[in-house]
A and B are shown apart, each in its own frame.
Chain A
Amino acid sequence: MEKIKSLQDLEAFRNSIAEKRKVGKPCIAICSGAGCLALGARGIINATIKEIERQKLKAKVDIKTTGCPGFCEQGPLVIIYPQNILYTHVKVKDVAEIISKTVINGEIVDRLLYTDPTTGEKFIHESEIPFYKKQRRLLLGNNSNIDPNNIEDYLALGGYSALAKALFEMTPEQVTEEVKRSGLRGRGGGGFPAGRKWESCHNAPGEPKYVIANCDEGDPGAFMDRALTEGNPHSVLEGLIIAAYAIGSHEGYIYVRNEYPVAVENATIAIKQAEKLGFLGKDILGSGFDFTVRINRGGGAFVCGESTALMASLEGKIGEPRAKYIHTVERGLWDKPSNLNNVETLANVPLIINKGADWFNGIGTEGSKGTKIFSLVGKVNNTGLVEVPMGITLREVIYDVGGGIKDGKKFKGVQTGGPSGGVIPESMLDIPVDFDELTKAGSMMGSGAMIVMDEDTCMVDTAKYFLTFLEEESCGKCVPCREGIKRMRQILDDITEGKGKEKDIELLERISATLKDTALCALGTTAANPVLSTLRYFKDEYEAHIKQKRCPAGVCKALIQYYIIDEKCVGCRLCEKACPVEAITFMGKKKPVILDQSKCIKCGICKDVCKLGAVGVK
């Protein structure tokens, strides 16, 4: 491949790809996103390659490994093109049949189709499935069409045309103006207007300037940035190059967390391919603009997602934040003007440049434009990644897209915003997905984790979970955060162990206020949100723990007991074998077993293994 040196070259190259692909071979696209890999996609890929060779079809059928379309619960996922047939829960033994029936003869293998769990209806195409219907997949939509390691796939779908448009038809100021007018706000958590940040960095004195893509995604329970960087790395890269052009930067970084090895690999390959074709490097597309990018891996520290900590770690130092009376757009990396954007923010940029600010700001609400990707997880039927227009209500996301609560249980709350956010109760499910509305509700948009909780989730335990997380992740630089979070966690420990006192709630509130006012970075100032929001909406649960020494959800170990429901137990002995401490005694066939409370360590394995629901918890 030769470097592309002009607009004409780019169009000629794009046409040559289209020409090559006109033949329209059938294609088997196998999702190799992290979720599907965890469910065995690697085996499917190998089996497909083997089977294609065995049936001597190599010249007639294409195999493609793609990024994550979001429907992880149903994986491994396979899509057959050109008919667009979606198969779910595919196993290695299904591969031969898929090839001979569907690929060769166009017949559909009924049992592999997605079946709606409530209606029993079967669906052939992705777009008809309720999970996808209310979504608006501007960013994720291409994940199942693209092999992330093949830049031609991205180009075939119009990739890098926004970059060409920016370089040849727009001045840097016009690009920034367009992004400003689009209303795009940062997707990394803070929601800062992207165009305004670019402008400040552009205007800040000092050279060189740096642009950085934040793929640290430390929020536990979120994997949007992972799916974008793994599944469509060129869209992020294109956004970053356009940002660099607008700002006047010639050096950029992508900061990827080390826990995402595939994202590191795919982004590295994408950069190499883009360099080879002349989308990166000197004189990009013959426009005279130079820009290079390198990848840095994180070291497993949540705080490194924070802008100043991230930049410190890019300098090879420990990831401690610093006070921000001087903004990073003025003095960031190596004390130079630096612009940091989240991966999802950047992936929106090519769309805005191509389709225009007016198109983009036509989607969403007054203050929040475009779409937002959420990782919809926890106790919901359709877990996975969902991309919805801003303004959709939480209820629609959880019930229409997510298919409601798992196992017919009762909804209790939805946690958004990660460790900086809060839990939103049933009564507020009709608020729209919007930066400002979520903040008003005591939570926040955050990076996009949406964790659904049912009646079996304990809210005190949830608050304790986040504080334990933050205690571990606090960098320890400032006292309120280092000591305050620890103290709050200890109080919650006491409450969950039945040692809570009535004054504890007041004390929690006081420490929360101190944290908010005095911590150095946003990790500390927002750390109390999970506690404050659960106190606001679920105070009765705290009180049950403190006053009645009872955990209504049956979670907090010190306050619960497992017991055998005699009427349901048939004496099958599964639990007896599974119990690690021999607390369960077999009493004879058809008789219930006996659970010895003095030996029980409350590991809950008996409840897990019982097929009859004969183990209860109170």
Chain B
Amino acid sequence: MDKKVTAIIDKYDADRGQLISMLQDIQAEFHYLPREALIQVSETMGIPLSKVYSVATFFKAFSLKPRGRHLINVCLGTACHVRGASKVLEQIERSLDISRGETTNDFKFTLETVNCMGCCALGPVVNIDGEYFGQISAGKVDSILNKYS
């Protein structure tokens, strides 16, 4: 792990202003922010670990827990909301038997929500591993989830 983290820190010249970008890259690499990586960032950059944690927990994009192989993001933006996004979210929660923010026991899926992905014209929108599914309804949820292994 430490080599990958070193490379990320180097990419930003250990610039303190780029802390958030670094954490984003670390998360992209490991799908979450492992504790050891945060310690390494803190030590290399001379930022107290508590400060690194404060940033890592302030922003919604970061996760301190390991996440599943597939990341489901349900958009809860206003446009999706008025077209029934919460029904879609509830159906996914029922199908996977987890709540938003959780990961299935087999680490297959992590379910998260975002407040707008900018695909408002197609609401409700669900994004799985970067792929968008537009104009979906609660009834279509299972057939989409079944596509993933």
Q: Which residues of A contact B (CB under 8 A)?
A: 34-35, 37-39, 72-73, 217-223, 226, 258-261, 296-302, 313-319, 375, 377-379, 383-385, 415, 418, 449, 451, 453, 457, 462, 465-466, 469, 472-473, 475, 578, 580, 603-605, 608-609
- Tell me whether A299 and B62 are in contact (CB under 8 A): yes
- Interface flag for B118 (CB, 8 Å): yes
| B55 proximity list for chain A (CB < 8 A) | 299, 316-318
| B115 proximity list for chain A (CB < 8 A) | 218, 220, 302, 469, 472-473
| A469 proximity list for chain B (CB < 8 A) | 76, 115
**Per-position contact with A for B121-132: 1 when CB-CB < 8 Å, else 0?**
111010000101
Given A383-B121, A453-B82, are A603 and B91 neighbors across the interface (CB < 8 Å)? yes
| A38 proximity list for chain B (CB < 8 A) | 119, 122, 125, 132-134
23 A-B residue pairs with CB within 8 Å: A261-B130, A296-B17, A298-B20, A298-B61, A301-B59, A315-B16, A316-B55, A319-B58, A375-B79, A375-B121, A377-B78, A377-B121, A378-B79, A385-B121, A418-B78, A469-B115, A578-B139, A603-B87, A603-B94, A603-B138, A604-B84, A605-B139, A608-B139
Give Cα A226–Cα B120 distance, bound, in whole angstroms.
11
- Beyond the given A298-B20, A379-B83, A605-B87, please list 5 additional residue pairs across the A-B interface where CB-CB is below 8 A: A218-B116, A219-B116, A223-B120, A297-B21, A608-B138
- Tell me whether B20 and A296 are in contact (CB under 8 A): yes
In the complex, what residue of chain A is closest to B120 when comparing beta carbons? Answer: A377
Give Cα A72–Cα B77 distance, bound, in whole angstroms.
17
| B131-149 CB contacts (< 8 Å) to partner A | 132-134, 137-139
How many whole Å from B75's CB to the nearest CB in chain A? 8
Give Cα A263–Cα B55 distance, bound, in whole angstroms.
23
| B119 proximity list for chain A (CB < 8 A) | 34-35, 38, 72, 223
Give Cα A580–Cα B90 distance, bound, in whole angstroms.
11
How many whole Å from A330's CB to the nearest CB in chain B? 20
| A258 proximity list for chain B (CB < 8 A) | 24, 61
| B48-87 CB contacts (< 8 Å) to partner A | 51, 54-55, 58-62, 76-79, 81-84, 87
Q: Which residues of B contact A (CB under 8 A)?
A: 15-21, 23-24, 51, 54-55, 58-62, 76-79, 81-84, 87, 90-91, 94, 114-123, 125, 130, 132-134, 137-139
- Tell me whether A259 and B118 are in contact (CB under 8 A): yes
Give Cα A38–Cα B76 distance, bound, in whole angstroms.
16
Looking at chain A's contact residues, the main secondary structure is: mixed
| B54 proximity list for chain A (CB < 8 A) | 318
Give Cα A377–Cα B83 distance, bound, in whole angstroms.
10
| A383 proximity list for chain B (CB < 8 A) | 79, 120-122
How many whole Å from B19's CB to the nearest CB in chain A? 4
- Tell me whether B18 and A316 are in contact (CB under 8 A): yes
How many whole Å from B130's CB to the nearest CB in chain A? 8
How many whole Å from B60's CB to the nearest CB in chain A? 4
Give Cα A302–Cα B116 distance, bound, in whole angstroms.
10
Give Cα A346–Cα B94 distance, bound, in whole angstroms.
45
In the complex, what residue of chain B is closest to A419 when comparing beta carbons? Answer: B78
Give Cα A318–Cα B19 distance, bound, in whole angstroms.
10
In the complex, what residue of chain A is closest to B87 when comparing beta carbons? Answer: A604
Residue among B76, B79, B91, B118 having the largest count of chain A Cβ atoms under 10 Å: B118
- Tell me whether A221 and B78 are in contact (CB under 8 A): yes
How many whole Å from B28's CB to the nearest CB in chain A? 10
How many whole Å from B35's CB to the nearest CB in chain A? 19
- Tell me whether A259 and B114 are in contact (CB under 8 A): yes
- Tell me whether B116 and A222 are in contact (CB under 8 A): yes
How many whole Å from B110's CB to the nearest CB in chain A? 15
| A219 proximity list for chain B (CB < 8 A) | 116
In the complex, what residue of chain B is closest to A230 when comparing beta carbons? Answer: B118
- Tell me whether B120 and A222 are in contact (CB under 8 A): yes
